Amino acid sequence: MLDHLDTLKEVLIKEFYQLYDHYSDDGIYACSLVFDEFLRVDYLAISTERSIFNDQEDRAQYLSETERWNAAKWRYRTVHSSNNGMTQFRVLLDSYFKNQHSFGNPLLEHSKTDQANTLDVLLKLFQQARDALEQDYGLDLNRIVFFIHMPTQPQIAFQSAISLNQESPLRQQFLFSKQPANQPAMSKSFKLNQNDKDLLIDLAQLVKLEAYDYLHVAHQAYLLTLEPHFVDANLYIQKLIQHIAGMATEIDGSCAMTQAEIQERISQFER
């Protein structure tokens, strides 16, 4: 598995350097490894001072000051494609998780030990990549805050920033913005209508089969997306079903969601 980790580090270095090379003159102040709502790697993103709206008009401005640290709003990110480095990163990380944890993605496990150990692996990868960029590429990264963004676990951004960055006014600004008291209130549970509940019931029945077949489940999930009421469903439920339907495109099924993973996703809507 060490080969996997070395490859992951090299992917991070390559993808960050491409973004840095393109936007360094615009004043990069932050870089984030962004995960999707299912806690799988989505993309690497950076943000620049030039992007922030100010008194002087600039065609590059698109981001309000209140969104300065909201990685989900940043436009400068790695591009999705089958041969993209972050796509490779995602596949390798999924494979690493599956080899280390028989039940799939440990970031979704209820065990805080598994979650902490997995986060530690991610932080070490990110830190090693950052160190290599400074030592081997000669980049000055002291004015950039690095962190990990997970939409369903906002505390990770705070924890990762402390681990990845030395003390500085910029880091303090970031940490202050991520304090719970400074975050907008979030609903503790999903508000589901009857249509949403029916879709979750249908999805749950698909994965209850004793002989789990990811291709069969993917096909049945695809049929759910064709239902006329699907477009009116909760957006997160739509994305979950679309994600499951997309398993049919997996080359060898090595990164397809397990039965336990899908059931865990469904249970998140019931908490």
Are 178 and 210 part of one and the same domain? no
Question: What is the tally of structural domains in the chain?
Answer: 2
Instruction: Check whether residue 166 and residue 69 sit in a common domain.
Output: yes
189 falls within a domain = no
What is the spatial distance between Cα 22 and Cα 19, in angstroms, rounded to a whole number? 5
Q: Do 214 and 229 touch, CB atoms closer than 8 A?
A: no
Contacts of 116 (CB under 8 A, 6+ apart): none
The answer to whether position 167 is within a domain reads: yes
Residue 188 lies in a domain: no
Last residue of a domain, one of 125, 148, 182: 182
Residue 150's nearest CA partner among 258, 38, 8 is: 38
Domain boundary, last residue among 128, 157, 182: 182
Considering the domain architecture, whether residues 98 and 225 belong to the same structural domain is answered as: no
Residues of the chain with pLDDT below 70 are 1-4, 55, 80-84, 96-117, 180-190, 210, 249-255, 270-271
Separation CA 131–CA 137 (nearest Å) = 9
pTM of the full predicted structure?
A: 0.62
The candidate with the shortest Cα–Cα distance to 7, out of 91, 123, 106, is: 91
Q: Is residue 187 part of a domain?
A: no
Residue 161, judged by CB atoms within 10 A of its CB (0-12, 13-18, 19+), counts as buried
Domain identity same for 229 and 152 = no
For residues 178 and 200, membership in a common domain is answered with: no
The answer to whether residue 258 is domain-embedded is: yes
Whether residue 203 lies inside any domain: the answer is: yes
pLDDT of residue 134: 94
Same domain, yes or no: 211 and 178: no
Distance of CA 181 to the CA centre of its chain: 24
| Per-residue model confidence as pLDDT tens digits over 95-145 | 766 665 444 444 444 444 445 567 788 888 899 999 999 999 999 999 999
Question: Does 96 lie in the same domain as 32?
Answer: yes
Per-residue model confidence as pLDDT tens digits over 248-266: 765 566 557 788 878 877 8
Among 159, 182, 205, the domain-final residue is 182
The answer to whether residues 198 and 172 belong to one domain is no
Q: Are residues 23 and 65 in the same domain?
A: yes
Q: Which residues, in sequence order, are bridge partners of residue 47? A: 30
Asked, for residue 90, whether it belongs to a domain, the answer is yes
Give the bridge partners for 46, in sequence order. Answer: 31, 76
The DSSP call for residue 154 is T
Rounded to 5 degrees, φ, ψ at 266 are -65, -40
Whether residue 204 lies inside any domain: the answer is: yes
So what's the pLDDT on residue 104? 46
Note the pLDDT of residue 187: 45
Same domain as 168, residue 42: yes
Give helix then strand counts, H and E, for the chain: 9, 4
Tally of residues, the chain:
271
**Which pLDDT does position 5 carry in this prediction?**
74
Domain span at 218:
194-268
Q: Give the C-alpha distances (Å, rounded to integers) separating 240 from 38, 49, 110, 198, 214.
A: 8, 34, 20, 14, 14
In a shared domain, residues 206 and 167: no
> 70 and 28 in contact (C-beta within 8 Å)?
no
pLDDT of residue 68: 94
Please tell me whether residues 225 and 139 are part of one structural domain.
no
What pLDDT does 181 receive?
Answer: 58
Map 192-250 to HEC letters.
CCHHHHHHHHHHHHHCCCCCCCHHHHHHHHHHHHCCCCHHHCCHHHHHHHHHHHHHHHC
